[in-house]
Amino acid sequence: AQKITQTQPGMFVQEKEAVTLDCTYDTSDPSYGLFWYKQPSSGEMIFLIYQGSYDQQNATEGRYSLNFQKARKSANLVISASQLGDSAMYFCAMRVGTGGFKTIFGAGTRLFVKA
């Protein structure tokens, strides 16, 4: 079965520190894509970062990096130098199926950044 698991319902981090949000996935398809999205309290979904299953290097986008450990089936999001504006809900998602674009989402992790 294809599944995304985010085990941390809520996380606290001190401003300017780094934080890791956990995500594990399960699929038997060799071709898949992994995404992270941010959903602030205003409700919009903001794309942060993407990792393809065949990508050799971990994806990075500014302060965001994806720690991709294929053997462990994990795709953790690392946010460096946290800012107050990073307080939001974060979703891990997986696009599954060779040639397909069906995307499933995890339950999300709510991040609180403390001043």
Determine, following the binding rule CB under 8 A, whether residue 36 of this chain makes contact with another protein.
Answer: no
Smallest distance, another protein to C-beta of residue 62, A = 15
Smallest distance, another protein to C-beta of residue 11, A = 18
Handedness of CA 5, 9, 13, 16 (dihedral sign): positive
The two structure tokens encoding residue 42: 């205003």
Determine, following the binding rule CB under 8 A, whether residue 84 of this chain makes contact with another protein.
Answer: no
CB-facing half-sphere around the CA of 70: CA atoms within 13 A: 14
Residue with tokens 């594990």: 24
| Three-state SS at 79 | strand
Q: Which listed range, 18-26, 62-70, 79-87, 96-104, lies at the site for another protein (CB under 8 A)?
A: 96-104
- Residue 85 CA to residue 78 CA, distance in Å, equals 15
Q: Which listed range, 21-29, 65-73, 74-82, 103-111, lies at the site for another protein (CB under 8 A)?
A: 103-111
Radius of gyration of the chain measured on its C-alpha atoms: 14
Determine, following the binding rule CB under 8 A, whether residue 11 of this chain makes contact with another protein.
Answer: no
Interface residues toward another protein, by CB under 8 A: 33, 35, 37, 43-47, 50, 52, 91, 93, 95, 100-108
